[in-house]
Amino acid sequence: MTTIQPKPPPPLSLPPSTSYITLQALNTTAQLYVKSANFLSPLIPGHEIYNCPTLAFLLTHKSSNRKILFDAGVRKDYWNYSPLITNHFATSVNVKGLRVEKGVDEVLLDAGVALQEVEAVVWSHWHFDHVGDLSRFPTSTKIVVGPGFKENLLPGYPANPESPLLESDYAGKEMEEISFEGEGELRIGMFRAYDFFGDGSFYLLDVPGHAIGHMCGLARTAENSFVLLGADACHFAGALRPSQYLPMPETLDGRWGLDPYFMNPCPWELFGDCHPGTGEEKRTSPYYTASMALGSAYVEPEMANKSIQGLKEFDASDNVLICLAHDPGLFEVLPLLNDGPRNEINGWKESGYKEMLRLRFLNELPKEGKPGREPIVLGFWRDGKEVSATEALAK
């Protein structure tokens, strides 16, 4: 038996404030099953394709009741994205499954949230599974984007036939591009920060590497507790954990949420075989780094890995819960807005979600060389039926 002592993380310098956010997690209903190679490195046999359900967040500023949405999922009629995106679906061998039951607008309406109440939608980045269909929102809804967005991505289609975005997404709406520069630059942990409401209740973080202008969110859920909305800073919780700060425990008992397949308690060695590291690394470094492959989904993979290092420092804090947009474990643990309009996750600390979520990704890793979990979706789905790519993408 070897117990690994966690390394103490560098201080995060989380600024104090008594202004909070009511944070609600919502299942955008977008389900993806995608090839790992462009996201995760190295390839782990049995995990060549992986599950990407897609989470977004509704934030309500507690004292003013102002509401913003962080990310907007996949548009329900995904065949109406710009040709750049639909051609990607048609020709790409990367997307092995895609299904969307509801637009994020419908998820909000079902929960009794009027779209007029949503003052702004933050796009963590421009990828199709985060921008949704904002033409469904009134022109009073502002769009908030990260540094370099406007210069690199506007105008949308059809003004620019090559654009991944649609002009209709932002037509008539104000678009605010966040700047992290300036005097008295605020930093939290490794990242530059922007105080969104000006009172310390919600910060946008400059977390580069995956896509131009990629931002995370940091919502204060109580005086000294935060949820870090990780978006696509990394694409699998096993690319973040274990770490030197949160090493793999010696044995894993019921509290870690392992599938009934595993013995309880389960020795860590059962998960060591598919870890690419050697010796103690297997318990102190993540299973993956950001893909460096040609065609990597990371525009700057080295930068992305630095950003992931920064996220590990947040992950090490008992006061921060990290929620990546595509982490399947979140859908098992968090009470979702879809299941009740009052469901919120502010009580994550008292409810023990952090521990329940930390190692759930192990369920997705291969078991005896075979996929650990069934695909959440296979093939293209339209109107509740599986159809060919041609049928799926027909206008």
Please report, as ranges, the residues that interact with Zn ion according to CB under 5 A.
Answer: 129, 232
* Closer to Zn ion by Cβ: residue 129 or 344: 129
Whole-angstrom distance, CA of residue 209 vs CA of residue 218: 18
SS (H, E, C) 220-269: EEECCEEEEEEECCCCCHHHCCCCCCCCCCCEECHHHCCCCCCCCCEEHH
Cβ-contact 189, 310 below 8 angstroms: yes
Q: What residues form DSSP beta bridges with 67?
A: 60, 118
CB of 192 to Zn ion, least distance (A): 22
CB of 271 to Zn ion, least distance (A): 25
Number of alpha carbons in the 13 Å side-chain half-sphere of residue 392: 25
How many CB atoms within 10 Å of residue 296? 18
Ramachandran class of 281: left when φ > 0, alpha when ψ lies in -120 to 50, beta otherwise: alpha
* Closer to Zn ion by Cβ: residue 186 or 299: 299
* Closer to Zn ion by Cβ: residue 68 or 211: 211
* Closer to Zn ion by Cβ: residue 75 or 282: 75
* Closer to Zn ion by Cβ: residue 34 or 143: 34
CB of 237 to Zn ion, least distance (A): 14
- Where is 390: in which H helix or E strand? helix 389-393
Number of alpha carbons in the 13 Å side-chain half-sphere of residue 151: 6
Whole-angstrom distance, CA of residue 108 vs CA of residue 171: 21
| Whole-Å CA distances, 389 to 15, 91, 98, 376, 385 | 49, 9, 10, 18, 12
CB of 298 to Zn ion, least distance (A): 12
CB of 39 to Zn ion, least distance (A): 9
CB of 130 to Zn ion, least distance (A): 6
CB of 375 to Zn ion, least distance (A): 17
* Closer to Zn ion by Cβ: residue 125 or 283: 125
* Closer to Zn ion by Cβ: residue 232 or 313: 232
